[in-house]
Chain A
Amino acid sequence: MDSPVLGRINNILSHSFVDGPGNRSVLFLQGCNFNCLYCHNPYTINFCDACGVCVASCLVDALTLADGEVTWDTAACVACDTCIEVCPNLSSPKIAVLSPEETWDRLKAYGPFISGITVSGGEPTQQPEYLKALLRLVKQESDLDTCIETNGKMCPEVLMDLLPELDYVMVDLKAFDPQIHKDLTGQDNAQTLETIRTVSEAGKLHMVRTTVAPGYTDSMENIKATARYLAGLDPDIHLRLLRFRPHGTRGVAADWGSPSDEVMDGLVAAARAEGLNRVDRSM
């Protein structure tokens, strides 16, 4: 079995302009504790259970099943994503299993071009030991800053353990209303709200994001309540409203429409009217 400090990594992006301040390299960790109706990367939710369905589907024999594990041959892979499409387990066989040192070896060449490293997912805090070791290593080996994108649902101990290694935290607040949150994600949001408060008090809350999903989070009440909560913590918290887009989603959300500009602008204005100074939206 793998040693616990190994990370399971779905993908590494060399550059991204939407995952924190400046240009960032982004690490997407496998595994998530939510199961959102509109998940845009559903293949990052679960760890592979070696069922072998993808192995049989691979058109170029890039996958093999042996000793209870699926192995991915990166050289043979043609990135057609058939394996991801057929996976019955919301997972992917295309996972790199790396130690923090091995991960840093892949990231460090990007150093001259970036402000920092963002760890996203999946839910990055689902691999807390690896995450902490990696963030610490980045800090030791470079001047790069560190950021995570999280759904905020984690034990306070995990958060307190990670915070010293982090410069920025971006929290996705899926919905302010606990019932809507549960309907959307399968989980309640008490810990998420607590995470937002703790990170804000630590001065490390880069942004809170809420996806405006039709029928769930596109109501004035939801956005106003979100803004009131955040403004109560700090009126300068940056809230960004993300327009739901169906691409990448599966199941019911694939048939949802995208909120119009008018709806998005109306929600931004409503949030500002609650005393939150920095509210904007995605294009």
Chain B
Amino acid sequence: MTQTKIAYPFEHLETGLTPDQVDVFKSLVREVIENPNHLEEQKRLALTDAAFKTLPYLPVSDDALAALGSGEICLLGEGPAPYHPRYVAPDYEKLLREGSAFFDLAPASDLYEAVTSLLTVYNYSPTSGAPPFIGKLDELLEPFLDGLTDEQARPVLKSFWTLIDRLHPDAFVHSVLGPQGSRAGRLLLAVDREVQTITNMTLRYDPENTPRDFALLAVGNAMQLSKPYFLNHPLHEAEWGEDYIVASCYNIMVLRGGIFTLVRANLGEVAKRFDGTLEDLLENHLPRLAEIQIEIINSRINHLVEEVGWFDQSIFIKEGLLDPEKFTAYAGVVGLNELVNKVMELEGQPDAKLGHAEVANQTALKIISTFKEQLLSHPSPYCRGTDGHVTFHAQVGISEDEGTTPGCRIPAGTEPELYAHLQAAAPIQSLVEGGVSDIFEFDQTAKENPEAILDIIDGAMALGMRDLSLGSTDSEYVRVSGYLVRRCDLENRQEEKLLRHDTSHIAREFFNSQPNTLHRRERQV
């Protein structure tokens, strides 16, 4: 087999680090420790990651190896052999109600104790770093506001919110609000408006039941901070039950559950090599790709559960904060746009682009529904949270994705008119239960008229849109595909200054590969 580069030059899928690559490894270690642009903690993480990736990858078939080598299948930096799940959704309500023997925390009796318990457990997230889900914060904290005035509660929430960002400076840390309005929810939105952290946030929005003034407050935040996301609550509740949550970028899962692994298919890479008919793609190519993707996913789940014995050793399982019956894995996809446009080209319709031509939109639906059906036709071990099958997810993209559009989106800067964009995106989004989003940026007039944005959100949800990332073209924050970055950090990244937020490093590279991410439209009378 040929040497296959994954992330580091010394990595090898089958053998791991070989003796002839030891010097390469050493020079990388030296490069990391001498990098003036990283903090010590960031260096430690980089060293850990490099050491981990000296191992051989889990054994898979030759076809799977080839797909990993070509980039058609990508492990998203998870490395050779997972020793922890990718995402988890701990039951923080149980933590606050019952306390935790292991973490030496008593049941929380007031707001101070509640935020102390939460911050403690965030610090032990059994994932790759920062906690990807930090709770349905309004529901969690509302009971502890009893007897406190807003003036008493607000400073506590402000320091809690500040600490989350300072201790876990990572835009993949995700909080959830709604669908009900509450004092805690309103205070958290106000605090976020004031503190302006990078922490991610979703409002589970129910057009019928979320109080309009609460939703308008959230729209106001979105126009300022590009968060929260607006998630179609009735749709997700119907599919996932009441206890679903959002983690990381916009990833849907069940509370007390988790995602073993996220392995994605890069349809943009498929498009580069594909030269057949649509029929050939749907009947042969995609089923084969799905089979390979599932093979790789299943090997990783088996390793984590059976070799590592993660369910047996995890404190989060022992403490009852997570439940093995609620886990699943993501089969992700990116680059739908590139594959659709390639197929249209091969079908003799090069001008029919995704989002702009009905025939292209219909082709996208065929590709996505066929691929998903194929993925779900295979059993996946221990995915008991989703009936023994993986969950389909529109992956947000990584910085190396040059020329590949995130998830199932239309490329930034080339979207059609607003309503046409929503109408094209909604049926695609409806097929992706495990998380998908499209970004909509409005000019500054939106800031003065949040009702208008809510009108658009309501219309979008009626169409079946799942998740809207909303922002203003002149906001402090930029939504880079799925996570937030301060505009000033992007500028600093260009100048190679020290950055506190890990995700700012990724974002700069993302901007280099997706230069149209920042765009604006102008009003014409």
User: Which residues of chain A have a CB within 8 Å of any CB of chain B?
Assistant: 10-11, 13-18, 21-24, 28, 40-41, 44, 109-110, 112-115, 283
Contact = CB atoms under 8 A, between A and B. Distances in A.
Contacts of B455: 22-23, 113-115
B445 A14 contact: no
Given A15-B418, A15-B419, A18-B445, A23 B453 contact: yes
Contacts, number: 65
Contact of A11 (B446, B458, B459, B525): B525
Interface in B420-469: 422, 442-446, 448-449, 451-456, 458-460, 462-463
Contact of A113 (B419, B448, B449, B525): B419
Nearest to B524: A11
A112 B525 contact: no
Given A11-B525, A23-B455, A17 B417 contact: no
Listed residue (B417, B442, B459) with the most chain A CB atoms within 10 angstroms of its CB = B459
A104 B523 CA distance: 22
Given A22-B455, A24-B452, A17 B419 contact: no
Contact of B525 (A22, A28, A109, A283): A28
Contact of A114 (B445, B459, B463): B459
B222 to A, nearest CB: 14
B448 to A, nearest CB: 7
The interface residues of chain A, by DSSP majority, are classed as mixed
Contacts of A115: 451-452, 455
Interface string B258-300: 0000000000000000000000000000000000000000000
Nearest to A115: B455
Listed residue (B419, B422, B443, B452) with the most chain A CB atoms within 10 angstroms of its CB = B452
Q: Range of interface residues on chain B?
A: 20 to 34
A11 B525 CA distance: 6
B525 A13 contact: yes
B523 A16 contact: yes
B524 A283 contact: no
Nearest to A43: B525
A22 B417 contact: no
Given A16-B523, A283-B444, A112 B418 contact: no
Nearest 3 CB-CB pairs, A to B?
A113-B459, A23-B452, A23-B455
A283 B446 CA distance: 12
A18 B452 CA distance: 9
A18 B442 CA distance: 13
Interface string B458-498: 11101100000000000000000000000000000000000
10 contacts: A13-B525, A16-B523, A17-B443, A17-B448, A18-B449, A22-B449, A22-B454, A23-B449, A112-B463, A115-B452
B449 A41 contact: no
Given A11-B525, A16-B523, A283-B444, A110 B451 contact: no
Contacts of B449: 17-18, 22-23
Given A18-B449, A23-B456, A13 B462 contact: no
